[in-house]
Each structure stands twice: as structure tokens, then as C-alpha cells.
Structure 1
Amino acid sequence: MTQYNRWSHPHDIDKRYTKKVAYFSMEFAIHQALKTYSGGLGFLAGSHMRSAFDLHQDMIGIGMLWKFGYYDQERNEDQTMRVLFQEKYYTYLEYSGITVRVDINNHPVVVKAMVLKPEIFGTVPMYFLTTEVPENDHLAQTITQRLYDPEPMARIAQSIVLGIGGAKVVEALGGADIHHMNEGHALPLAFYLYHKYRNVDQVRQRMVFTTHTPEKAGNEEHDIHLLERMGFFNEIPLEEVRNITGMHALMFNHTLAALRLSKVSNGVSKLHGEVAREMWYDNEGVCEIKSITNAQNVPYWMDETMQKALEKDDNAELKRRKAEMKKQLFKLVANQAGKLFRPDVLTIVWARRFAAYKRADLLLRDIDRFFRLIHNPEFPVQVIWAGKPYPFDHGAVQIFNKLVKVAYKRDNVAVLTGYELELSRDLKQGSDIWLNTPRRPREASGTSGMTAAMNGSVNFSIQDGWIPEFARHGENSFIIPIADVTLPDHIQDDADYENMMRILEQEIVPTYYKNRDRWMEIMKQSMRDVIPAFDADRMAHEYYEKMYNY
């Protein structure tokens, strides 16, 4: 096959976006049929690739072709969660003609680039890297099997493939003006560029960085000697690595190194930008940290019928379509849980990754009060949970299973498995309330509420991530007052729980049942306010304006 050795956009590039940008991400949520993502980071990257295509930007995506995806979420006999790693094969990906070599742990590893052409899913050209080639031994072939492998050396190897392998693929395609690292996973890219230019300023001119998490676990650290042995630094002597990164201790912090080797970086909401600056600005040599709030691609996520009905201010059509979308969601509930939910009942959905700080089970803090809420004969409530815990986070899996047990044999509570793009869309379209309960300020952005708002689901949230930029209590959302973050976690949880239940019992439920006109106004205001501010076209434009052309 001839080498696909150009960026190959199917359209002319918009003159505002002529800088060539290669966007590196460990995960991309592009389409249900391509399982290369775990959660919000991937959803965000997928929307970025779609909007970059829609805006005719000169960009490509560089990702990893995960043979087993993240994992398939199944059920055991007792309905508790089962983790399934199943081989995937995508017939629509083509060999790009590009194969490169990286050195991992003193072994040569062959990396093959598969291309996802723009016409398949409406993205910029994307290159997915795999080590699953006959030239590699068994161990090398396993590098691209599992997204977020629990084995530290495998994770380091994955970073080398994405960062150094990806940089070589970009070179084979004619090079890029800017290399955008979405999180620190592709950091070896910086050392590849340094090896090439031998000048830190030259590296910085070519690299920008997005940090996504204030969570310690999300900001990776490894033993610097292990990284050197594995080939993370691309043959640069350790002393030189220490000098250019300012890392003189045993543990090497990936995020801090990225902030020192990029020309500019960003947090993913205004609040997260502040939190990130507070976290990192005390360190010498870090670049400026701006804020570019995450967003989602409207044509992919928003129901067209709802959009048209909103434009015409047609309440009857909005109500009809919302009821239809609820019925669609409730078919999935019936199939998975054997329960028949009712479209005329207020439906609350909590759906996202089961990370501890997101507090999936906050609603159950007082179980008797929860049962009183859902069993009120006058104003009934239906609750759905969904989400994929990290498969090796046993605490998170336990919370998932606890919810399964609470839902068992109750006709108006369900826990759904398989929270991927399609189920995510169905939940947003079929819910009345999108519940978000992170411990503030630990949610960097949290984009799921944006796509919920696009589909007439009203946000009910802690004031974290993107929410402070959007929400007005009782106008377009319902907001849980800010708890004192200096207090111990369990006291914050108590305060958040009390406020959440008070608003549910005294405001949300009565408004839904007794004042439908006001409910419709809140829902419509939410749909109006979410676009264009939280449309990924705005975000993709801002990246060029604030980062690439910086």
C-alpha cells in the first residue's frame, strides 16, 4: 500500500488555523464502534477531533490502538460487576504505510500506525499506534493491549510508544508546528524533540500541554532511574534530564516536567485554571497556565428534534420529544434490569467514572431518607446509576456493587452497565435531572453535564469544574451550596448531602410535579445557555488563539 504520508484533509484549511498541530492523547472517544477510551478525557479529546474537522483546522490526532479497549463492563450471576477484556478488531482502520521503531528497556519495538480517515467518523485524520506486529516478541506486543494497564512498567512503555513513536509518525507525515499533549502521558515526546534540537527553547516553541486533574493519582510520578532504564528519556543522559526538567529528587513528576518543557499550558475550566496555578506556580520554571474550559461537539451530542423545537420555542414539541427519549432510555432499563420505568416520573441520573471523589453513593448517605424520596406516592422519583470504575480499583467496584444491591428488586432504581458513548447519550437524552456530586475543587471540568443540558436534562450539581461558569440556581440549573473545603471529608459530605436532599425535596421534586411551566423554562434556559459557550467549536478555536498561536 502506498504510504498515507500527508495530513490528507478532505477540505481546504481555514486561514485562521494554518499552524500544523499534532494532538497526542492516550484515549479518544470518537464513536461507539471504536473503544479507545475510558471516560471524560477521551470524550473531550473525541469532541476536539470532531470540531477541528468541522472548523477545517490543520490538525491530526495521535492515539493508541488498544486491543482490549479499556474493558467491557459485564455482570456476574448475582448482577455484581464483571470485568471482561475482549479482543477488538476494527476493519475500517487502514495501515498508513508508516512503521517506526522505539527502544524500550534496551529492546527495539516496532510501532505500526493505523489511520482513521476523516470520512469514517467526521474527525481530522487520526493515527492509532499498535505494537501488535509479528516483528515484536510477545511482551512487546502486549504494550498496546490495555488502556491504563495496572503494571507501572507497562504504563511507562505505553508512554514511550505514544510520545516517541507518535513523534516519529508525525515526522513521517511531514512534521508539525505544534505538539499538543492532552495530559502528561505522551511526555517522552519532549525528550524526543530535545534529542533532535538539543535546545530547551526549541522544545518549548513546539510543545503545549493540557493538565486535566487536580487529583494526585492523575499526576503520575515514577522513579527517575526506572524511567531512564526503560528509555523514557530517549538516550538523553540522566544529568542532562535533571538539568532541563529541574527534577533532582528520586521521583520524577510527569506533570511538572511537562509544565517546564511547554511554552504554555492550560487547565480545563476557569476554576481548574486557578486550582492548577495554585498547585504548580510555586515550582520554578513552569510555563503560564491559562484556562480553556472543556466543551463538547454539538452536532454529535445534541438531539436535532430538541434543537429545532427550542429554536421555535415549541413547548409541546419539546415535551413530546423528551417523553419519547425517556421511553428510549427506559427500553434499555427494561432490557438490563427487568424494570418498567414510567416517562411521567421525575428521573434522576448519576453517570460518570466511579472515582472516589465523585461520590457515586452520596445519595444513599441516609438510606431511609433515600427510600422516602423514591417511594413518595404523590411525587415518585426514578434513579439510574451508570459508570465504569477503573477495573483494578476495588473500592470503586465495591461502590458499584453496593448500588446494585440497593437497586435489586426495587422497581424505580436501576444500575446500568456499559457506560460508553451510546449509553451516555441515551442517559443524557432520557434523564430529567443530571446529578453531579464531586468533592469541590477536585473535578477539573466534568463535561457530561454539558451534553445533558443540550438534551433538556437539568443539571443538579456541586459548584465545581465548568458549573460555576454556567449555572444559575433555579434559572438554568439547581446548585448545591459550597461546603467549607477546609473541613474533613466526612463533614463536607454531610453538609453536601443535607443541602442536596433539601433542594431535591423542597425545590426540584415540587417544581417538576406542581409547576411544569417553570420546569420547562429552566430546561429551555439551560439548553440556550449551554451553546455556544460549551460547544467544542468554541474550545477548538480557543486552543488556536490562546495556545498554538501563543
Structure 2
Amino acid sequence: MILHDYDFDPKYAKPVAYFSMEFAIHQALKVYSGGLGFLAGSHMRSAYDLRQNMVGVGIMWSYGYYDQGRHEDRSLKINFIRKHYYFLKDLGICATVKIHGEEVYIKAYYLPPDIFSSAPVILLSTDIPENDFLARTITHKLYDANEETRISQEIVLGIGGVKVLESLKHHVDVYHLNEGHALPLAYELYKRYGSLEELKQHVAFTTHTPEAAGNEEHNIHLLHRFGFFNGLEMDEVRNITGEYGENFNLTVGALRASKMTNAVSKFHEEVANRMWANCKGRSEIISITNAQNRRFWTDKGMQSALDSHEDYELLARKKHLKRQLFNIVADQTGKMFDPDILTIVWGRRFAEYKRPGLLKLDFERFKALIERTEQPIQVIWAGKPYPFDTSAVNLFNELIHISHQFKRMAVLTGYELELSAVLKKGSDIWLNTPRVSREASGTSGMSASMNGTLHLSTDDGWHPEFAINGMNAFTIPPIDHSTPTEVQDREDNKNLMDMLEQQIIPLYYDHPEQWTHMMKRAMSDVIPKFDSGRMAHEYYELMYK
């Protein structure tokens, strides 16, 4: 079957299959959770823009990640609602994989390029009548909390994805693993290529996180029983993977099964090479910094005003975008925000190392900041905690509870592609607070900068490659990162509050011309270096060739 409806640019003719657990391509297709999916979505859009011979392979999650609602007390309510997608095409094929010795049937759905202007994507489902109830649940929920279900999902994505492409007679030269979730494909391909060295020539790997929790690990015997290694004998598994202990790390497995690995920022390249320095037999780790698709994320009115050098038009458009955001704030919270007031947004996945609550760490100082009447500020939080991470959900609810005290603080639910775009376009400051070296890239600030929102961040991820402090962004001063995390948090909080009170707020109100210049500089500097067209090109040049 021909999956593409466009002719390939000869530079990008090599056939690539891009395997990812999530793809954030459009608000209507809810098969993503956060940054990994946002990145994959932008990659698919730029592959389409550049006419690349690429196809995405993912999973059609019956219930998505989850839907954010509210309980009667306005705290976060986690809803799992079955999704239906009438714009996907049933490919009419049924592949099988063995999971825990049982045959599991996989149906494949097709997202054509012309629906959302993306490279074609194939989405796999086990939620079909041919399977028993247990097998059907494998593709119910993205990142299911049950370990055995999670392993089964990875087998479906990796081995099932390869078999579906073969059933379609779609030739693939390079299999790109966006994170280690699809690693079982390596053991399916090993049987075809016959040797580890030949296998490696066809596998590329992107590692995304220096967080230990993000580098998934399971008991190797459990993986073997479930069919993760595609029926290979344990002795052969150990020889191929170089793992002789009881536990198996998916990142290590992918490092040893690929010809090339990329980290997702220059700083992350340093961190990843230190992190995996003692991993024998691993592939070289280079950096290809993550990026976001300008066509999708940039407000056309803002871009037009920038191109025509009309400052009045730029500021008028920004004020309009702020009003659009504030309509959502009013609808969800009953609070009327003012477009003339400096507006700060923290919006992304709620993970502990990202420190969603850093701004309020010194609560009395935060209270004074949020209640000030001279040169006031407005603060909005949004994002999705993992639904089974009690501490992250509790922090989200704590922020909601605190917000009831302050008329210029809001916490929004429903953080998906659409709300993310409105927040990035309608904010003045995009706040990013990870502990340094813990955020591999963090792309949300890129799409915010594309819309004249200034990035205020610790010097981590992509930020050091972009930021010129006080010119196109704001950088929270560096601290000693060898100290205990509690000490780091207090120091970063103090530095953040000092910057807001002494530099950023006075600049916004007292020097509007300089603020406008920074907005324009941010919009100009973020393109083309952090547009995903650059990234998609680099993958072909540095990873696939």
C-alpha cells in the first residue's frame, strides 16, 4: 500500500519508520500525554513540509491519556472516556504478536497525510473482538500503571509495528525509536538480519530523559516470559544485549541495539554521555536539539506584524491573544484577568523535577507578589500530572486550593494541544523551573518564544542554546548543583523572585519599548534554529544516512 500522497524530496528518499508511544498531531487525536508527543507531532508535521519518506508508528489509545475534569470542590478529576476517530482509515489487516505465550491480534488504522498536514501515521489497536478482554485492555490507556500491561504495550508497538509495516509491504530502511518503548522491534528485526551488527545499521535511537524514572527498567525474566525478546533464548538475549543481571534497562538495550543515538540538546548530550559512560557496546551519543513546528505553533497575526515591523500591530495582536486566554480563565475560574497586567504562565507535565511549585516556595513572598497593587502580576498554572502519581496530583490540587485566595492566580484544567497553544500565545512570561541537568530539552518555551512570550528559565535543556539574558529571554542565575535539592530549591526560588521583583516587572511596566524589542528578538532568534524543519533535516543528515 502507498501511504504517502506526496512525492519525496530526493534528499529525504530513504524510507524511515518513526516509532513513538505518543503523537500530538491535532487536538482531535488524543494519543499523547506531553512533551514526547508534542515533539513527535512537530516531527511528523515537518516531515510532511519537507516531503520526507517517513511514516509514524504509534498506538491508538482507546481512552487516551486521560481527560481532566473537576470534582465538586474544583479539585482535579481524572476521567477515562472512550474515544472514537472517524477520520482514521481501517487498513483492513490484522497482525499477531505473542504475549505471555498467547496470540494477540492487532488492527492497524491509518492517518492520511492530508487530514492534518503530517507524514502518514499508523496507529495500532488490540481493542478488537478477536481478542479476549485482557488482551483488549493492552491499548486502552497510555502509560498504563500496571507493569505487565506496560510491557505488553511495548511488545505491541515494537514487534506489532514491524509486522504491520511488512503486511502493508512498506519497505523500511531505518527504524527510529523515539525513546526506548518500541525496543522489542530490535529483537524482531534481529531474526531477519541475522546479526547484531547488521541490525544496528537499521536502528536509530533518541533518548529523552536524564531522569532515572524516565529510563524504564524491568526484571529481565519477566520481560522474557512476556515475549519482549520475541522468543529468543535467554542465553542469546544476554549475548545480544550485554545484560547479565536480573534487571533490564530499556535505554541501555536501545543504546546497544542502535547505530546512532541522539540526545535532545547540547547540554543533554554532555549529561547523557556522562550518564552512560560505563555502558559497554553502546552507540555514539550525539545531539540533535529538539524543536517545534513553526507552521503549527506560531500565530499568523504576530508573525505578520513582526515581518512588517509594525510594533503597534504586534502589541495589539498580543493583547487580543491575552484576551482569548483570559476568556478561558474566566470560564473555568470566574476570575477576570486584565490584558494590561504582566501575565506569567507555568504550563507543562507536572513532574517533581520540573518544580511546578517553585514560585510559591517562599509563600509569604509569593503572597506579597500576587497581591501587589503597584505593577501587579497574574499567574496561571496548567499541565497534566500522571494520573496515578499521587504526589503530583496532590500538588496540582494544592495549587487549586491556594488559587481560591487570590483573584490574580488561576489553575486551568484540560491541558492538551489547544489549551497549550492559547497559553503560549496569550502569556507574557513562560516560566520554566527544572533542576539543572534534569530537563533534557523542554520544548514548550520554543513555541512560546515564537509568539513573543519571553522564556524565564533555569539554564537547562535547550535554553542555553537560545537565551541571551535580558535580550531575548531571562535566565535564572546559576547555583551550586552539588548541594541537596532542598538547598537548590531555596536558592533558585530566591533568585527567581529577585529577578521578578527587581528586573522583569519594572522592565515590563517602566520600559515597554525595551520589552517590545525583547519580544521581537525572541521571535526572530527562535527561527530557524528551533523550528522542527531544522531538526527533521538533521535526523536525515546525522542519524539515518
Does 2:160 align with 1:161?
A: no
Q: Partner residue of 1:90? A: 85
Does 2:61 align with 1:66?
A: yes
- The 3-state SS of whatever aligns with 1:128 is strand
Q: Partner residue of 2:19? A: 24
Per-residue Cα deviation, 1:393-436 (whole angstroms, up to 9, x for no partner): 00001110110011014210000001100000000011000000
RMSD, aligned α-carbons: 0.7
Distance in 2 (alpha carbons) for counterparts of 1:9 and 1:47: 18
> Which amino acid letter does the alignment assign opposite residue 71 of structure 2?
N
Distance in 1 (alpha carbons) for counterparts of 2:510 and 2:500: 14
- The 3-state SS of whatever aligns with 1:31 is coil
> Which amino acid letter does the alignment assign opposite residue 16 of structure 1?
K
> Which amino acid letter does the alignment assign opposite residue 291 of structure 1?
S
How far is 1:156 from its partner?
0.2
> Which amino acid letter does the alignment assign opposite residue 383 of structure 2?
G
How far is 1:155 from its partner?
0.3
Q: Partner residue of 2:136? A: 141
Distance in 1 (alpha carbons) for counterparts of 2:415 and 2:399: 15
Q: Partner residue of 2:194? A: 198
Distance in 2 (alpha carbons) for counterparts of 1:483 and 1:146: 40
Structure 1 residues 474-493: aligned runs within 5 Å: 474-493=470-489
How far is 1:170 from its partner?
1.7
Deviates more, 1:226-235 or 1:369-378: 369-378
Q: Partner residue of 2:28? A: 33
Distance in 2 (alpha carbons) for counterparts of 1:459 and 1:121: 28
Q: Partner residue of 2:395? A: 399
Distance in 2 (alpha carbons) for counterparts of 1:79 and 1:21: 46
User: Out of 500, 503, 508, which is 1:504 matched to?
Assistant: 500
Distance in 2 (alpha carbons) for counterparts of 1:50 and 1:241: 37
Asked if the contact 1:150–1:392 (Cα under 8 Å) also holds between the matched residues in 2, the reply is yes
- The 3-state SS of whatever aligns with 1:344 is coil
Distance in 2 (alpha carbons) for counterparts of 1:240 and 1:196: 15
User: Out of 505, 508, 524, which is 1:528 matched to?
Assistant: 524
Q: Partner residue of 2:238? A: 242
> Which amino acid letter does the alignment assign opposite residue 273 of structure 2?
R
- The 3-state SS of whatever aligns with 2:94 is strand
| Structure 1 residue ranges (4+ consecutive) displaced by more than 6 angstroms after TM superposition | none
Distance in 1 (alpha carbons) for counterparts of 2:477 and 2:543: 34
> Which amino acid letter does the alignment assign opposite residue 93 of structure 1?
L
How far is 1:390 from its partner?
0.2
Does 2:262 align with 1:262?
A: no
- The 3-state SS of whatever aligns with 2:98 is strand
User: Out of 307, 316, 320, which is 1:311 matched to?
Assistant: 307
Q: Partner residue of 1:374? A: 370
Structure 1 residues 358-373: aligned runs within 5 Å: 358-373=354-369
Q: Partner residue of 2:425? A: 429
- The 3-state SS of whatever aligns with 1:289 is strand
Asked if the contact 1:390–1:396 (Cα under 8 Å) also holds between the matched residues in 2, the reply is yes
Asked if the contact 1:144–1:158 (Cα under 8 Å) also holds between the matched residues in 2, the reply is yes
Asked if the contact 1:19–1:58 (Cα under 8 Å) also holds between the matched residues in 2, the reply is yes
Asked if the contact 1:195–1:234 (Cα under 8 Å) also holds between the matched residues in 2, the reply is no
> Which amino acid letter does the alignment assign opposite residue 78 of structure 1?
D
Structure 1 residues 23-422: aligned runs within 5 Å: 23-173=18-168, 174-422=170-418
- The 3-state SS of whatever aligns with 2:103 is strand
- The 3-state SS of whatever aligns with 1:29 is coil
- The 3-state SS of whatever aligns with 1:350 is strand
Per-residue Cα deviation, 1:255-299 (whole angstroms, up to 9, x for no partner): 001000100010000001111111112211000001000000001
- The 3-state SS of whatever aligns with 2:30 is strand
Distance in 2 (alpha carbons) for counterparts of 1:102 and 1:282: 34
- The 3-state SS of whatever aligns with 2:372 is coil
Asked if the contact 1:309–1:315 (Cα under 8 Å) also holds between the matched residues in 2, the reply is yes
Q: Partner residue of 1:466? A: 462
Distance in 1 (alpha carbons) for counterparts of 2:362 and 2:229: 51
* Percent of paired sites with the same residue: 57
- The 3-state SS of whatever aligns with 2:323 is helix
Q: Partner residue of 2:438? A: 442
Distance in 1 (alpha carbons) for counterparts of 2:103 and 2:21: 21
- The 3-state SS of whatever aligns with 1:478 is strand
- The 3-state SS of whatever aligns with 1:293 is coil
Distance in 1 (alpha carbons) for counterparts of 2:490 and 2:367: 18
Distance in 2 (alpha carbons) for counterparts of 1:287 and 1:281: 11
Asked if the contact 1:339–1:412 (Cα under 8 Å) also holds between the matched residues in 2, the reply is yes
Per-residue Cα deviation, 1:497-540 (whole angstroms, up to 9, x for no partner): 11100000000000000000000011110010000000000000
Distance in 1 (alpha carbons) for counterparts of 2:127 and 2:278: 42
Per-residue Cα deviation, 1:153-181 (whole angstroms, up to 9, x for no partner): 00000000000000111222322000000
- The 3-state SS of whatever aligns with 1:434 is strand
Distance in 2 (alpha carbons) for counterparts of 1:315 and 1:528: 14
Unaligned regions of 5+ residues in structure 1, if any?
Answer: none
- The 3-state SS of whatever aligns with 1:354 is coil
How far is 1:196 from its partner?
1.8
Unaligned regions of 5+ residues in structure 2, if any?
Answer: none
- The 3-state SS of whatever aligns with 2:119 is coil
Distance in 1 (alpha carbons) for counterparts of 2:171 and 2:479: 48
Asked if the contact 2:95–2:163 (Cα under 8 Å) also holds between the matched residues in 1, the reply is yes
Distance in 1 (alpha carbons) for counterparts of 2:198 and 2:122: 25
How far is 1:309 from its partner?
0.6
How far is 1:13 from its partner?
0.3
> Which amino acid letter does the alignment assign opposite residue 147 of structure 2?
P
Q: Partner residue of 1:13? A: 8
Report the TM-score when normalising by structure 2. 0.99
Distance in 2 (alpha carbons) for counterparts of 1:98 and 1:307: 44
How far is 1:456 from its partner?
0.9
Distance in 1 (alpha carbons) for counterparts of 2:226 and 2:264: 31
> Which amino acid letter does the alignment assign opposite residue 223 of structure 1?
N
Per-residue Cα deviation, 1:54-82 (whole angstroms, up to 9, x for no partner): 10000000000000000001111111111
Per-residue Cα deviation, 1:45-103 (whole angstroms, up to 9, x for no partner): 00000000010000000000000000001111111111000100101011112210000
Distance in 1 (alpha carbons) for counterparts of 2:354 and 2:83: 30
Per-residue Cα deviation, 1:459-515 (whole angstroms, up to 9, x for no partner): 000000000000011000110012211000000011101110000000000000000
How far is 1:371 from its partner?
1.5
